[in-house]
Every structure is written in C-alpha cells, then in structure tokens.
Amino acid sequence: MPDILHKVAIKASPIETYKALTTLDGLAGWWTNETTGDSATGGIIHFRFADRGFIDMKVLELDPGKRVLWEVVAGPDVWIGTKVSFDLAQDDDFTIILFKHQGWKEPSEFMHHCTTKWATFLMSLKASVETGTGAPFPNDVHISNKGD
Amino acid sequence: MPDILHKVAIKASPIETYKALTTLDGLAGWWTNETTGDSATGGIIHFRFADRGFIDMKVLELDPGKRVLWEVVAGPDVWIGTKVSFDLAQDDDFTIILFKHQGWKEPSEFMHHCTTKWATFLMSLKASVETGTGAPFPNDVHISNKGD
C-alpha cells in the first residue's frame, strides 16, 4: 500500500515540538484553528475546516518528545482507518520529524494532493514552532484550484 | 516499491506550464539556477546545486502540454535509475500537475526528505509560472538542518 512520507527539521527541542503535536493550542497553530476535543491517549481530537471538511483523530500513542500516533476515525472516506504518525529525534539544536500517513488503499489523485498538502502543513508546523506563527486553516497555503 | 506522488494546480495554460518543465530557462526558474544541457527528447539536462550535489536527467518522453518523463542517470546513488514524471491536464484556467518520482527501492529517511523537498520545489514551480518568481536553488526553501 502506498504511504505518504515526509521529513522536516525544526529548530526547537523535541519537547517543544511535541507540544505542537499534542496540545489543542499547539495543533491549532499549524493545522487548523478549529481544533477541539481530547488530545490525551485514547481521546479524539476534532479538526474542523469550516465548509471544507473535517477530520477526527483518535490518539493511539503518545511518547513524550518521541512519538505521536493517530488513527483517522472520521473524515474523508479514504482517510478512515488510516494512521498518521510523527517520530521525533533530536539532532543538536533541531528536532527531526519523520512523518507517515499510512494505510492508503490506492495512489489516487486525492492521495497525490494530500501528500503535497501535508508538506505545506508540516512547513506550517515548522514555522509555528520556530517563530510562533504558522499557517493553519483558514490561512493555509493553497495548492489546488478548489480553494485548498 | 514506494513512490513520491504530488499534485499541484497552477493558474496557467498547460503549454505555459510545460515550458517551465522543458526549457533550460524555465527549469532554472524553479529548481536550480544552474541548469544546463539538452532538454530535447533523448538529451541530458544537468542540474547543479553548487556544493550540495548534482542530478543529470535523461529526457525520455515529451508530449507538449501533456507529459514530461525523465530518468535519473547521475546523482545520489539511490536516485539513479529512478524516473520523474509530470502529467499535465487543463481544468478551466488551471493546469493540474500529477507528479511522480518512482523506482525507489526503499522508504529511507532520504526518501522522506525528498518527498517534502519536491513539494517545496513544486510550490516554487507554481510561483514561477504564476508570478515569474520561483524559489530555485540557491534560494530554495530549507526543510532540513543540513542547509537543504
């Protein structure tokens, strides 16, 4: 099965980076400003993108400063059951993130789109942690001709 | 084998977009400003990134306004023999690009890095075609802690 894989370095400690992935405020700073729910292990985080859609993630694993694993429990049909993970490692002043969105059944055009869009959100995460200002929805970088 | 897949929409005609993928000037506007060689079918294009490395692409297919296919003939070991394609389709005022970098033997950390880096270069391509100003090397967007 095809996977979406990314790698990005963030000039911050793993714990600072981890906060941006595991607190509602942190997530709202880079993915979507409409982030609610329960970000503890076993909880469900609700990501809302106004009339563009929604995603609910169940938090499967949290290892502070090291790893975050979510499962998509609501959202686009082809996302349901897929898993999103962030593995963090320190390299001097940086945190290296290995990102994976796995479980896609086929390499659809939508998967191509999601790969590129994840990259822009990971760059938003990097900016959010490094500078305090990311580009979360609705101020996200548009890559398509459909407003997303 | 894992593939790198991206999708991006560019507000320009397929022929304008195709020029940015098939002329030395066009390529220098978004990937690296050190682009030389022969961009015709069967030719080899030399992409240079100063002391960061180099890539030579053999042009395997050119279908005006529709498709570009390259094969990596020199560059990073794990790139050699891989293929990079751009499939173009018109949607109203936009050209939709489906990008693929295929033939990777394994989903290494370097492949994760290249996925994210291709996204930033595709955004550079988009900006270059839409506004005349891309972000080619050495003015590219840095995603790692190694200066690339």
Smallest CA–CA separation between B84 and chain A, in Å? 14
Which stretches of chain B sit within 8 Å of chain A by CB? 2-9, 11, 91-94, 96, 98-99, 107, 109, 111-113, 115-116, 119-120, 122-123, 126, 141, 143-146
Six-digit token string for B5: 């897949």
The rounded distance, in Å, linking the Cα atoms of A81 and A102 is 9
| Concatenated DSSP letters of A80-109 | TT-EEEEEEEEETTEEEEEEEEE--SS--H
The CATH number of A4-131 is 3.30.530.20
For chain A, the structural domain boundaries read 4-131
- For residue A63, the number of C-alpha atoms closer than 13 Å in the C-beta half-sphere is 9
- For residue B5, the number of C-alpha atoms closer than 13 Å in the C-beta half-sphere is 18
Opening angle at CA B32, ends B31 and B36, nearest 5: 115
Q: Do B123 and A141 touch (CB under 8 A)?
A: yes
pTM: 0.98
pLDDT in tens, A13-48: 999 999 999 999 999 999 999 999 999 999 999 999
Q: How far is CA B139 from CA A39, A86, B121, in A?
A: 38, 28, 11
pLDDT in tens, A58-106: 999 999 999 999 999 999 999 999 999 999 999 999 999 999 999 999 9
Q: Residue A24: helix, strand or coil by DSSP?
A: helix
pLDDT in tens, A99-139: 999 999 999 999 999 999 999 999 999 999 999 999 999 99
